[in-house]
């Protein structure tokens, strides 16, 4: 599955429907120190979604993995769901809502990151990531997640119609011999002052033929088309065809595989 995004490092036929989502209840302070199941934590909250942006352990680490040096890469990638399971009531998403974005070992440290998903669909620019040091310790995590996603389940615009809408956004599309370099379906959250609108979109990356030469300075375009209305909800210039990635063939671990390793 090719995913179109301008992936952020801290990094979809079907449908779209914008749901304005208000976040009721008492607001949390931006930064808070609290005790969670006996553990003292420092949390910076997202003032809009009231989910953690940064979470750190104060008197202990968030997690310390046993026999870390013997864990395979696959076992390392299961750490994210385990971490989410441990802190689920704070993060407000489930371990089955993660999709592996990347897992890379640099020197003795692993850097692991995930997208958030909704009904298996990646949320654009969502992220949950952390590092694991050489002793298997996770000291903090960073996240951009959406706990209360609401979106429709049936498209009203066909893929073919959405593709034509996307092509029509580009002046001289035929003359420039533009190519569809990548496409996918994703959920596009639009943050407002007091709410989030969620669109389930067809996402396209178009590049003129000459922009595909390695030495060119020409760019292309990202076009997101609402699968409910056909409205273009995002149109932006891409400098290089670097915004496409293929998620790994990765499945979140089963509950019985998530027994604590800390």
Question: Which residue in 138, 109, 135, 113 sits closest to 126, CA to CA?
Answer: 113
State the CB neighbour count (10 A cutoff) for residue 187.
24
Query: Residue 258 above 60 pLDDT?
Result: no
Instruction: Answer for the pair 12, 186: CB distance below 8 angstroms, yes or no.
Output: yes
204: Cβ contacts below 8 Å, ≥ 6 apart? 4, 162, 163, 166, 180, 182, 183, 222, 223, 224, 225
Q: 132, 142, 126, 81: which is closest to 103 by C-alpha?
A: 132
Tens of pLDDT, residues 63-118: 999 999 899 999 999 999 999 999 999 999 999 999 999 999 999 999 999 999 99
DSSP 193: S
Model pLDDT, residue 12: 31
* Residues in the chain, total: 262
Q: If phi over 0 gives left and psi between -120 and 50 gives alpha, with beta otherwise, what is residue 25?
A: left
pLDDT confidence of residue 11: 34
Segments in 78-130 forming alpha helices (H): 79-86, 88-91
Domains for the chain: give ranges and CATH numbers: 26-147 (3.30.310), 159-244 (no CATH)
Which residue did the predictor score with more confidence, 110 or 19? 110
More confident residue, 153 or 176: 176
- Residue 192 Cα distances to 28, 61, 198, 236, angstroms: 18, 34, 11, 19
What percentage of the chain exceeds 70 in pLDDT? 78
The pLDDT value given to residue 61: 97
Question: CA-to-CA distance for 62 and 199, rounded, in angstroms?
Answer: 33
- The predicted structure's pLDDT at residue 251: 61
Pair of tokens at residue 64: 């310390």
- Closest C-alpha among 85, 133, 126 to residue 105: 133
Buried b / exposed e across 93-111, counting CB within 10 Å, b at 16+? bebbbbbbbbbeeeeeebe
Contacts of residue 40, defined as CB under 8 A and 6 or more positions apart, other chains included, come to 33, 34, 57, 58, 59, 60
Least Cα distance to 128 among 173, 159, 172, 97 occurs for 97
Q: Which residue has the higher pLDDT, 2 or 127?
A: 127
Q: pLDDT of 193-231, one tens digit each?
A: 999 999 999 999 999 988 776 656 668 899 999 999 999
Instruction: Quote the tokens at residue 142.
Output: 């960073």
């Amino acid at each position: 599955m090719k995913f179109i995004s301008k992936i952020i490092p801290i990094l979809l036929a079907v449908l779209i429907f914008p749901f304005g989502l208000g976040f009721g209840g008492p607001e949390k302070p931006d930064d808070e120190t609290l005790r969670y199941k006996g553990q003292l934590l420092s949390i910076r909250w997202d003032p809009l979604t009231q989910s953690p942006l940064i979470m750190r352990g104060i008197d202990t680490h968030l997690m310390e993995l046993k026999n870390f040096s013997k864990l395979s890469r696959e076992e390392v990638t299961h750490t994210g769901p385990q971490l989410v399971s441990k802190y689920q009531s704070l993060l407000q998403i489930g371990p089955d809502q993660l999709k592996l974005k990347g897992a890379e070992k640099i020197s003795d440290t692993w850097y692991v990151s995930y997208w958030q998903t909704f009904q298996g669909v990646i949320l654009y620019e969502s992220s949950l990531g952390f590092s694991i040091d050489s002793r298997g310790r996770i000291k903090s995590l960073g996240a951009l997640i959406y706990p209360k996603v609401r979106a429709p389940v049936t498209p009203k615009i066909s893929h073919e119609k959405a593709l034509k809408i996307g092509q029509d956004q580009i002046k001289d599309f035929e003359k420039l011999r533009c190519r569809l370099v990548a496409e996918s379906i994703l959920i596009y959250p639009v943050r407002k002052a007091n709410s989030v609108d969620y669109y389930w979109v067809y996402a396209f990356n178009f590049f003129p033929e000459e922009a595909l030469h390695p030495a060119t300075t020409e760019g292309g375009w990202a076009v997101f088309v609402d699968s409910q209305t056909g409205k273009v909800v995002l149109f932006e210039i891409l400098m290089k065809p670097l915004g496409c990635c293929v998620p790994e063939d990765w499945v979140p671990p089963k509950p019985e595989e998530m027994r604590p390793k800390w």
